[in-house]
Amino acid sequence: MSNAAVLDASRPEFDQVIQAIADYALDYDVTRSDEAMQTARYCWMDTIGCGLYALNYPACTKMLGPVVPGAGMSGGARVPGTSYELDPVRAAWNIGAIIRWLDFNDTWLAAEWGHPSDNLGAIFALADYQSRQARGRGEAPLTMRDVLTGMIKAHEIQGVIALENSFNRVGLDHVMLVRIASTAVTAAMLGGTREEVLNAVSHAWIDGSSLRTYRHAPNTGSRKSWAAGDASSRGLFLALMALRGEMGYPSAVTAKTWGFQDVLFKGRELSFGQGYGTYVMENVLFKISFPAEFHAQTAVEAALKLHGAVRDRLDDVERVVIKTQESGDRIINKTGPLDNPADRDHCIQYMVAVPLIFGRLTAEDYEDAVALDPRIDALRAKMECVEEPRFTREYLEADKRAIGNSVQVFFRDGSSTEEVSIDYPVGHRRRREEGIPLLKAKFETNLRGKVSKKKADAVLDVCADHERFLQTPVDDLMSLLTA
């Protein structure tokens, strides 16, 4: 009897986890939340701006374009800030890579963390391709309302899964959630039936996840800058496969022995305390001030406040005490040599040392020209980074989602600075009124110089009017963004 049960090949219903994602992607009306739609417009601006900024870095641009020379696609999807026209899957990789390269786009922090705007790689590439194809058939293109709708849904899928499920604790990288969200949303954008979207999402779970190896010492490296673009493009690939009729795998998550939970989640069941709506976009965290791993954002802000009291006394510093959350302590508390920019922007000591010394933290400050300044490592060597229980507790409280840090500098003569403690970064929902003008300024700075003045002015005009933005054809806006 037991052997018959094991060999039973009866195909089950799709896992509820998969059904909930598919039904949300197909049926939920996110436009009912004006706050989510407004926030999504700002999120689109910020995300594209981050991508344009990344084009300043040869380490990024050398990765872009077709997989092999000459494999472009006339009339394909385009990549902002470049002249590339590519098949939409490769374009999604390119867009996703530039978005994430500098660790400057939005963030979601919960049991799992991640960057939901990474999904824009697949969404924007597909929307541009679909719009250009529709024009060729004499049909109406997609509008930016469609893009924002896709963004809100991708944010929600990625973010809600992350609320109670920590994949990093079993060694898996959060980009798996980008792939799952991108798969679901693009399958729906392609006009998939419920069965086709279910099939696509099941493939996204079967893919499992890459390891977090490239995010942690001693292996931290630049793959973390293109991993999300890779995941987003993979999601679009799986959606396209499902729309061709590729079958799905109903118990991809729960199958005994062979499913995601048993193989990769140590036998645990995925946990969901709430359904899908518009919560994540409404509460998303913007990286407005600093291109730094988000757990350190308030630490950098605190260090900047102390710059004036420390800059002329660097030789007198005895120790620097950084208090942070458990997650920050676990992933960015790092000592020893830092070999590359990807290593430095995930070290809280480095991200505190630079503003204490220079009164700033920019993407350029992770490059060798700055990192070789001996004062940085000398100050890092005097730092103590410890967990503060309150910061850890409030980090997970649903009505707070704080990301607190404090910094205090002690000198050899027994004196010290004040302890500067900041609970909410400027990109937090609680600081939206303060943050949005800064976000707009960040976008304009990143936009200008990457396209002509005429095009930049036109993009800014569109973005300044919410209703006009929603009605703008996707391919028209993409044309303004390309070189």
Q: How far is CA 219 from the centre of its chain?
A: 21
Give the containing element (helix H, strand E) for 383: strand 383-387
> Region 23-32: what's the mean pLDDT?
98
Residues with Cβ within 8 Å of 9's Cβ and at least 6 positions away in sequence, in order, are none
% of the chain at pLDDT higher than 90: 93
Tokens representing residue 34 in the block: 């004006």
Residue 483: per-residue pLDDT:
82
**3-state secondary structure labels for all residues of 85-144:** EECHHHHHHHHHHHHHCCCCCCEEECCCEECHHHHHHHHHHHHHHHHHHHHHCCCCCCEH
pLDDT digits (tens, 9 = 90+) for 337-361: 999 999 999 999 999 999 999 999 9
Kindly give the residue spans of alpha helices, DSSP state H, lying in 207-296.
223-243, 260-264, 279-283
Q: Which residue did the predictor score with more confidence, 11 or 80?
A: 80
Residues 6+ apart with CB under 8 A from 252: 15, 18, 202, 203, 205, 206, 259, 260
Model confidence at 267: pLDDT above 70: yes
pTM summary value: 0.90
pLDDT of residue 358: 98
pLDDT at 1 over 90: no
Question: What is the DSSP secondary structure assignment for residue 428, as one 8-state letter?
Answer: S
* Cβ–Cβ < 8 Å for 483, 61: no
User: Considering the chain, what is the average pLDDT of its residues?
Assistant: 96
Task: Give the Å distances, CA to CA, from 202 to 8, 14, 17, 260, 434.
Answer: 20, 8, 10, 10, 41
For 179-226, the pLDDT digits (tens) are 999 999 999 999 999 999 999 999 999 998 999 999 988 999 999 999
Query: What is the tens place of the pLDDT at every residue in 251-261?
Result: 999 999 999 99
Residue 75 pLDDT exceeds 70 = yes
Q: How many residues does the chain have?
A: 483
Residue 396 and residue 403: Cα distance in Å, rounded?
Answer: 9
- Give CA 260 to chain center in angstroms: 23
Tell me the pLDDT tens digit for each residue of 116-172. Answer: 999 999 999 999 999 999 999 999 999 999 999 999 999 999 999 999 999 999 999
CB 410 within 8 A of CB 380: no
Closest CA to 139 of 481, 482, 468, 475: 475
- Take residue 216 and report the two structure tokens written for it: 């942690």
| Residue 324 reports pLDDT greater than 70 | yes
